Chains A and B, each alone.
Chain A
């Protein structure tokens, strides 16, 4: 195990630090709050000669991802970062990056999609891109943001995957919040990430190839089926990389992060930084004898249905907290809820009542009393056997 150094870093700088250690071949990026510091700081490293990265300052996020696709196709290790409408602007190219099997690593600092204009945290941006074929990993805090960035490179470049990875952290909350972050020594980080060995390059004139060619109706379907098969095999790889990272650093990572689930009758399921708030309230509730636990998925794509069902199936009531609305979904639900319910149904677990809480949109604070409200509601569901509203709201003026 290698001793890490303790630094005071906000989430954005935890990532730029990891990027400095990774020293990718190319970074093509466009600024957007609250991601800006990630790439801005990294560009200083480039200017100061601390990295050998070719930094391409492009005219938009669409151009950023397009340049990343080109660089990755040419056999480069490529990274970038974005948020919200920046992610939305590169939407079509996300699909291209994934379908052409380019192992690009992108930090997405979660921010609300406009409109009206809001620069604060919610998950509508990355959730809006959940079908594009990228792997989605969420960090709860600055430490996880740093650790996930290093692991993301290994996950993306794994021979059996070769898929782009989106590494999330909450905008402002994590991104601008200074945290105690343990950082690996440069050499250890570099060794863990290793050199990039591209499986193909369009600059290789001895093995000429065409990528992204016209794919007629006689083959497109088969290519998409293949792509679906590949991403469905990502979870064991993510686990293996997390295990190896744990051996190296003492900080082990998996698919879910659970707390208090051993004897839990009820559970809260939530992604990212709000899990931190939830955990402390749940700890207090457990001390008072309430049988409640927390499940924090670290991976959202591929969706860890088996892991989640296994963790939650003994619960009588589950509250999913969604930091985005899937507009038009049944009863205004959010994506985490919708997919969890599908998983329960598919695995024939019908004894658990699952309800959805939309919270924190546009950076609306989620406070301890909101978590307490959810816990009380769950207790009522268990006590009365009545579900009540399927979708509820925390922190909304109603």
Chain B
């Protein structure tokens, strides 16, 4: 979040947004009530979760995805829903069978 919220006489005219990409500063991770967790070992890096994530919170580095951006992930669960991979061994975080990405309650 911006450190201090602006008073009315400091806000931009008409609420105009003049800095491109400024939504990065707005941390929506606090909106979560469940969070996605992944099994990187069994992930095939098909990138479907990255395609579908509405908050650009699947972080990709060097052609493989590495982590969730928990500062911005709102816990919508779409990534878990579209993940096509059924894991062969229990999930390292949940201990369940199912998909590579699973949703767990936010602590």
- Point out residues on A near B: beta carbons under 8 Å: 99-101, 162, 199-200, 207-213, 215, 218-223, 225-227, 229
Contacts and interface: CB of A to CB of B under 8 A. Distances in A.
Interface of B: 5-9, 11, 13-18, 20
Contacts of A199: 13
A219 B20 contact: no
Contacts of B7: 222
B44 to A, nearest CB: 35
12 contacts: A99-B15, A100-B14, A200-B16, A209-B16, A210-B16, A211-B14, A219-B6, A221-B8, A222-B6, A222-B8, A226-B11, A227-B14
B5 A219 contact: yes
A101 B5 contact: no
Given A222-B8, A226-B8, A210 B13 contact: no
Contacts of B17: 209-211, 213
Nearest to A224: B8
Nearest to B5: A218
Nearest to A223: B15
B contact face: mostly helix, strand, loop, or mixed: loop
Contacts of B16: 100, 200, 209-211
Nearest to A220: B15
Nearest to A215: B15
Contacts of A207: 18
A302 to B, nearest CB: 18
A101 B11 contact: no
Nearest to B14: A101
A219 B6 CA distance: 8
Contacts of A210: 16-17
> Which interface residue of A101, A208, A222 has the most chain B CB atoms within 10 A?
A222
B15 A213 contact: yes
A222 B6 CA distance: 8
Contacts of A226: 8-9, 11, 13
A360 to B, nearest CB: 37
Contacts of B5: 218-219
Nearest to B17: A210
Top 5 A-B residue pairs of the complex, sorted by shortest distance between their CB atoms:
A225-B8, A222-B8, A210-B17, A101-B14, A223-B15
Given A208-B20, A209-B18, A162 B8 contact: no
Contacts of B14: 99-101, 211, 223, 227
A68 to B, nearest CB: 16
Contacts of B8: 221-223, 225-226, 229
A225 B13 CA distance: 11
A200 B13 CA distance: 11
Given A215-B15, A223-B14, 8 more contacts: A209-B16, A209-B18, A210-B17, A211-B14, A213-B17, A219-B11, A226-B13, A229-B8
B76 to A, nearest CB: 17
Given A218-B5, A219-B5, A226-B8, A101 B20 contact: no
